[in-house]
Structure 1
């Protein structure tokens, strides 16, 4: 297999799961969230509010709101970091449109309840978390606030988590104008369950992971991480107990969305590198939370 075929194969193997995750997420929105007048955070929350207030199809507002953010992200962050976000945005808009047509045609009967909203919020959280977890695991996002958070994080060093949380609070708070308070409380249940499922899919309960990489090509790996991911890297001198040879270890902390990307970069330089991935309970500094 030549290099172009390998690149095409890698793109397909990454884009297909992102599209699958976007489909699951879109299904959860239309099957559980909207029929029960629940909410969601981020740009998706804005699209849902517009749907409640003016009955605008959410596939349309999802595309229109995310398109300028995507173009801004492409300019500021670069094509390599934002490419799979474009796949996520496009797939989400497509599947929202497709499922809306199927619901209108009666091919899908949504889950709507008058009393058991806790069941609706639980299943909504699981479905949305599963979809987003798959998207994140393969290096994509569904756009929106994630792009804004990355840009502000790079410009000002603000934590992505803090930015996303602040926007979610504003949007969910604004939804009080259109839906009852108890629906907001059920929404918070769905958001909490969704976050736990995302963590489970990502194989970790924390927002960051520490990589310790032992390789004879450690300097090259460190340079590649710095160039491709814009993450700080530390080279730690070490001596092999068996070989007695001096070498370096690479230490780097990344967000959960970047786990797969960093693993791929390491393998591209040294397929036999010894890699340790550890949970990080709290991270302070550039690219994470500032103290």
Structure 2
């Protein structure tokens, strides 16, 4: 219960931080964020509609897709994050903290990266292209980072054609800084090997297989002291998926034992989600 409250609090504060960065550093200089948020910012700058409202509306069809493909819990947390960010953008005024667009792009990108990275670590996402990319990588072996870069590039080019190419370059710098900070906080590229020892092997296996696109090796085990029969499940996941996996295993078997080790290299087929 304490961990759940801590995660929700982290997502809540981080989402407000993202809204603050959008309004006080980026939108005030017509600098955009990446993904769906960037598209919403473009529409917000061209119309009288608040960008926060547009972020929420544009994410609705994406959340419906994620609900069907990625699971209810993950999408619910992500929906909460986007809703808090949207509301905070409607409350926080759009004002310039710095008159320098370069400094605003960098510091805005840092704050967005911190907020997004913490949300990832808490088991959620900021919606948008993150969810789209995760759904696409379930079907084909495509690197998530490459997909996100390609989608964000669209925002940069649209920004250049609609506004100025200087603003497009500021946007590119902000997106780059955001990505670097997210990687530093969340380290999604790190692979982990999990050894799950449980008395409910079949149930845990089915839970993981229905929510992850990962292979699982199942071994028979026996407690040295208790002589009880156990199942040993071995799988390799990305750091991005760790929080979800721990909660799924705990739901089925709260008394399971999980050994988590960092994987140096993976040879063979591995989906890079």
TM norm structure 2:
0.82
Partner of 2:76: 83
Partner of 1:161: 145
Report how far residue 219 of structure 1 moved: 3.5
Partner of 1:106: none
- CA distance in 2 between partners of 1:112 and 1:29 (Å): 13
1:149 is the counterpart of 2:133: yes
Partner of 2:103: 119
Does the CA-based 8 Å contact 2:156-2:172 persist in structure 1? no
Does the CA-based 8 Å contact 2:29-2:96 persist in structure 1? no
Report how far residue 267 of structure 1 moved: 4.6
Query: Helix, strand or coil for the counterpart of 1:119?
Result: helix
- CA distance in 2 between partners of 1:267 and 1:30 (Å): 39
Of the three residues 241, 244, 259, the one matched with 1:261 is 244
Does the CA-based 8 Å contact 2:198-2:255 persist in structure 1? no
- CA distance in 2 between partners of 1:248 and 1:74 (Å): 30
Does the C-alpha gap of structure 1 residues 253 and 25 become closer, same or farther in structure 2, counting only changes over 3 Å?
Answer: farther
Does the CA-based 8 Å contact 1:215-1:270 persist in structure 2? no
Does the C-alpha gap of structure 1 residues 185 and 241 become closer, same or farther in structure 2, counting only changes over 3 Å?
Answer: farther
| Gaps in structure 2 of 5+ consecutive residues | none
- Give the alignment of 1:4-153 within 5 angstroms: 11-100=4-93, 103=94, 109-113=95-99, 116-153=100-137
Does the CA-based 8 Å contact 1:88-1:142 persist in structure 2? yes
Report how far residue 82 of structure 1 moved: 1.6
1:200 is the counterpart of 2:184: yes
| Gaps in structure 1 of 5+ consecutive residues | 1-5, 104-108
Does the C-alpha gap of structure 1 residues 191 and 253 become closer, same or farther in structure 2, counting only changes over 3 Å?
Answer: farther
Report how far residue 217 of structure 1 moved: 4.3
Report how far residue 63 of structure 1 moved: 1.6
- CA distance in 1 between partners of 2:247 and 2:69 (Å): 23
- CA distance in 2 between partners of 1:285 and 1:166 (Å): 23
Report how far residue 143 of structure 1 moved: 1.3
- CA distance in 2 between partners of 1:97 and 1:233 (Å): 45
- Give the alignment of 1:201-216 within 5 angstroms: 201-202=185-186, 204=187, 206-213=188-195, 215=197
Of the three residues 179, 183, 186, the one matched with 2:170 is 186
Query: Helix, strand or coil for the counterpart of 2:33?
Result: coil
- CA distance in 2 between partners of 1:276 and 1:47 (Å): 39
Residues 177-230 of structure 1 show CA distances to partners (whole Å, capped at 9, x for unaligned) of 13332333333332222222212322x3x5242123253548354443223434
Does the CA-based 8 Å contact 2:199-2:229 persist in structure 1? no
Report how far residue 29 of structure 1 moved: 0.8
Does the C-alpha gap of structure 1 residues 175 and 281 become closer, same or farther in structure 2, counting only changes over 3 Å?
Answer: farther
Query: Helix, strand or coil for the counterpart of 1:215?
Result: strand
The number of equivalent residue pairs is 271
Does the C-alpha gap of structure 1 residues 172 and 262 become closer, same or farther in structure 2, counting only changes over 3 Å?
Answer: same
TM norm structure 1:
0.78
- CA distance in 2 between partners of 1:179 and 1:53 (Å): 10
Query: Helix, strand or coil for the counterpart of 1:231?
Result: coil
- CA distance in 1 between partners of 2:73 and 2:36 (Å): 22
Partner of 1:234: 217
